Amino acid sequence: MASTVEIGSSPVESPQPWDALRKTIENKTATIGVIGLGYVGLPLIDAFVRTGFRCIGFDVDQSKIDVLAAGESYIDHVPSDAIQGWLEQKQFVPTADMARLSEPDAILICVPTPLSESRDPDLSYVEATARQISQVLRPGQLIVLESTTYPGTTRDVLLPILNESGFAVGQEFFLAYSPEREDPGNPDYSASGIPKVVGGIDDRSRALAEALYSHAIVKTVPVASCEIAEACKILENTYRSVNIAMVNELKVLFDRIGIDVWEVIDAAKTKPFGFQAFYPGPGLGGHCIPIDPFYLSWVARKHDIPTRFIELAGEINASMPRYVIDHVAAALNDQGKAIRGSRIAILGVAYKKDVDDPRESPSFALMKLLGERGAVISYNDPHIPTLPSMRHYQVPQLSSETLTAGYLAGQDCVLVATDHSVYDWQFIAEHAPLVVDTRNALAGVTGERQKIYKA
């Protein structure tokens, strides 16, 4: 029952946290806090600001805060002029001050969830964030975890930490899970154009989260629990991992028997039902597909259930960089050269075409293997001007080379790792003495093709 407070001489009913929050969401006066201003957080802010909400962006990296406060972007698909507009309209405040987490009415958590060295879930970022929220949590706040994780994380990891605040979930604060769905580099899908799955810790939490996202996202898909929403994300990425592994394995087989796997896929995808095209490559990249399925296999191990498809897919996909390097060695051998001492240029460091995201990119595995064999490595990527530090690799201090005729001609081998749209493949084919193509990017070039190898 709602409590009452005295205003003047007349008793006035004070709205419950649920009602007050619901109304601020409905009339778009709610302030939204986004924790983690990376490839998920910034596009999410863009979606809500465009709808008229005021957002506070939180990140522990002060350098990111300084860049955003200056109206600049560090992510290609969120341009600087968009951020400048947020600031000018006073709809966006970037901050590293986590004490301000008491200000937003809704807090969306978009922090990393990597794997440990033993391929166990590393939830340290989620747990640290939950403790920061718990210290300043107030009645009437909605907390939504967006970071990809295993089923049960919201209820078993996040909720106990938030409960340390002393407030009651479902009555004084509200908790939900809604997995991020981003497709960077795909102009057909912005953050606001992809349906959003929403699961709540209780019915009120789900209803509030659904109401919030419905303002900024094209469609919300409510499900019965946080666990179903968490499992949904894992299913999506495991599906992709397994199917990519299948075509990677077929690529190795078809290469051995002289069949072009790319032409096979092009023929198969003409079937209007029962087939979806997946494509081989030099390995998996991005934060989701190489990592998320192992969250599910970790849960399965806890219940003594083997996940053979997941483990096998991981093994096949992880083997692809070595397969590619073997092809580089064979291609150079045909030219009377060894990898050791050869100048090898890697085209593309981003994990997929037309993005500036290098997370888990197979290009770093390729660099590591080439370096171990004594190659002289350089690279070009128009989206990544300098190589960033990476969690699992000792990355050489290199900057992107200008893709001139002279640079290409000066290489012993050009290795195509990422097929960015800006690359002029005809120009590359004409000037590079040898090309190893992992993406079928040079399929359409004309002229002499003996120096082009598919891998």
List, by residue number, the catalytic residues: 288
Is-contact 190 50, C-beta < 8 A? no
- State the Cα–Cα distance between residues 391 and 393, nearest whole angstrom: 6
- The widest CA-to-CA distance across the chain, in whole angstroms, is 96
Phi, psi of 428 (to 5 degrees): -65, -45
Tell me the CA distances in angstroms from 252 to 262, 311, 322, one per residue in order.
12, 19, 12
The closest alpha carbon to 397, from 406, 405, 387, 407, belongs to 387
Phi, psi of 425 (to 5 degrees): -65, -30
- State the Cα–Cα distance between residues 155 and 141, nearest whole angstrom: 17
Q: How close are the terminal C-alpha atoms of the chain, in Å?
A: 68
The CA-based dihedral angle spanning residues 26, 27, 29, 34, taken in that order and rounded to the nearest 10 degrees: 40
Is-contact 32 104, C-beta < 8 A? yes
3-class secondary structure, 33: strand
Residue entry with tokens 């806090």: 33
Residue entry with tokens 């102009």: 187
How many residues would you count in the chain?
Answer: 455
Please give the order of strands across the beta sheet that includes 141-145. 92-95, 54-58, 31-35, 106-109, 141-145, 173-177, 196-200, 220-223
Residue 217 tokens read as: 């996202």
Residue 415 β-bridge partners: 346, 436
CA–CA–CA angle 83, 89, 90 (5° rounding): 90
Residue 361 tokens read as: 């990119």
Neighbours of 385 (CB within 10 A): 9
The closest alpha carbon to 165, from 139, 201, 204, 187, belongs to 139
Is-contact 71 63, C-beta < 8 A? no
